[in-house]
Amino acid sequence: MSETRQDLADALKHRAREEGFSLAGVARTEPSAHSAFYRSWIDAGRHGEMAYLARPDAVRRRADLAETMSEACSCLVVAHEYAVPDPPGVPDDPSRAVVARYARGDDYHDVVLPKLERLLGWLSERVDGGVRGRAYVDTGPILERELGRRAGLGWFGRNTMLIHPGRGSYFFLGVLLLDIDLPADAPFTEDRCGSCRACLDACPTGALLGRDTTGAPVMEARRCISYLTIELRGSIPAELRPAIGNRVFGCDICQEVCPWNEQFARPTEEPAYTPREALQGPSLVALAERLLAVDEEGFRTLFRASPVRRTKRAGLLRNVCVALGNWGAGEAVPTLTRALDDESPLVRAHAAWGLGRVGDQLSKDALAERLSAETNSDVRGEVLAALAEAAVS
């Protein structure tokens, strides 16, 4: 008996689980039901400096997968879990850096994409005439979470994450667009957040705005710690810096407090996501000193094959200076003083802020010396503001 399309879909999902994907489902490639919300979110400027989200071609492609692959008629959506436990004392110890769980090991793009490509190869060999497809892991203008919901992998939580009732939300989504028509799985239609608002209440910057009139969760990306520490290339707004705490790359707070993660999330079984020692709750001082000792090329070498490379050296050092200022201990002053002489104005500006937060005499002396030598107007402004804060501390 020849294999039916349902048999083929079932076999593909089984094969996906053999590849290490904990969830797998099939969805149709019909136009997005959320394109109007997405456009309004962009029009409101909530995407901040992430201009790639607002490009007209990208908006069109997110609205309709046919703009990306005209012959695609179904897609496989998979979930790859990445949860790792926090080391003892983290994130509660303000002297230690917190890196988002997804970024503590190897870059997920390098892990998930090859798995999807192997699935495509396996499927193509199984079908007469082969199968054409395209694999995406956060690498193209696709609304992955909508496809995940359509494929039955979960619902949109108030924290904007896709949540599965038996797995939580600590997973990457991968999408394999296919030119073969496979039977779609039943979409996930329930909202199981109920009246819970733990994520909204826990977000220290107020980035989560609840649901709109259509039920869609709304995020103000410009206030999100992940945006501020990764996507934002310039200065972090001064009023938001204290709320960042010791999170130097990304943020998991809205997932950490989610009851579905508290009950159902489990540690990843993917060896590539094993945390690197340098990213597993390191000392803020030690991390800053490592960054101050290297240039951009050295930074890329230090964080080879790590998502942390996305911030570039100045961005990560900027974040660490903010965290050092939030710690506010005298032990941070020598390192912040060295950062105050860094070649990057971005780093100098945030080092000045950090010293202003500490506010001891050594900090004031370092700031006064920097002011006499500083020519960058933005940095001078930060130094003057830091001196004013230190004067009243």
Please state, in angstroms and rounded to a whole number, the distance separating the CA atoms of residues 36 and 73. Answer: 22
Instruction: Please indicate whether residue 86 is annotated as part of the active site.
Output: no
Residue type at position 136:
Y
- Alpha carbons 318 and 320: distance in angstroms, whole number: 6
Burial class (CB in 10 A: 0-12, 13-18, 19+), 177: buried
Strands 23-28 and 74-81: antiparallel
As a whole number of angstroms, the distance between CA 295 and CA 312 comes to 10
Integer Cα distance of 216 and 224 in angstroms: 17
Query: Which tokens is 231 given?
Result: 């996507």
Q: How far apart are CA 207 and CA 219, in angstroms?
A: 6
Catalytic residue among 138, 341, 360, 378: 138
How distant, in Å, are the alpha carbons of 19, 201, 245, 257 from that of 197? 35, 6, 22, 10
In contact, 76 and 178? CB cutoff 8 Å: yes
The closest of 47, 71, 70 to 59, measured between CA atoms, is 47
Please, which residues bridge with residue 78 across strands?
24, 174
- Rounded to whole angstroms, what are the CA distances from 42 to 32, 62, 129, 228, 298? 16, 12, 41, 17, 36
Cα 173 to the chain's mean position, in Å? 12
Nearest to 393 by CA among 352, 342, 356: 356
Catalytic residue positions?
Answer: 138
